Amino acid sequence: MSLDVSWVLSPLLAVPGVVRGVVLSRDGLILGGSADVTAETGERAAAMTSSVLGAARALCDGLSDGADGEVVDIVISAGSGGYYYIAPAGDRAAIVVAATGTVNIGALAFEVQLQVQKLVKALDEASAARVPGVRT
């Protein structure tokens, strides 16, 4: 997937305390990143985030006996007082942002979920445009 969806990060970077972000595909490929994220850093973050999401899905499936294994978001509290907020965007992508300890997690969660909806829609439209005979 060669679609650059970095635009989805702009509103997230406007949330006070958010410092950078990456958009990734389900299989851990970078789809976009904030301006200060190098290709190497973005690719590494995308691969690790994909693994974290896979582990979280497995955990939810295992502990719920398969009843409800959907992961809506993951918040990692870092020892340095910051946070990493991860949110799947459908079954094809995810968003991860890094924030300082001063971020309002509730405001960040709200904004991330708004952007997740926009990202899912954009990916659906891009996918439909590539498939002959399919229209949205």
Q: 3-state SS of 5-38?
A: CHHHHHHHHCCCCEEEEEEEECCCCEEEECCCCC
pLDDT value of position 63: 85
pLDDT digits 0-9 by tens, 33-62: 999 999 999 999 999 999 999 999 888 888
Low pLDDT (below 70) residues in the chain: 1-2, 66, 68-69, 131-136
81-86, long-range: CB < 8 A, 24+ apart: 82/19, 83/108, 85/109, 85/112, 86/49, 86/52, 86/53
pLDDT value of position 82: 94
pLDDT value of position 135: 47
- Does residue 135 fall inside a structural domain? no
- Does residue 101 fall inside a structural domain? yes
- Does residue 134 fall inside a structural domain? no
- Does residue 136 fall inside a structural domain? no
Give the chain's domain count. Answer: 1
pLDDT value of position 79: 81
Distances in Å between the alpha carbon of 58 and those of 34, 62, 76, 86, 90? 29, 6, 17, 16, 16
- Does residue 54 fall inside a structural domain? yes
CATH number at residue 87: 3.30.450.30
- Does residue 123 fall inside a structural domain? yes
pLDDT value of position 1: 44
- Does residue 133 fall inside a structural domain? no
Contact between residue 86 and residue 52 where contact means Cβ atoms under 8 Å apart: yes
Per the confidence metrics, is the pTM higher than 0.85?
yes
- Does residue 95 fall inside a structural domain? yes
Expressed as residue numbers, the domain containing 89 is: 6-128
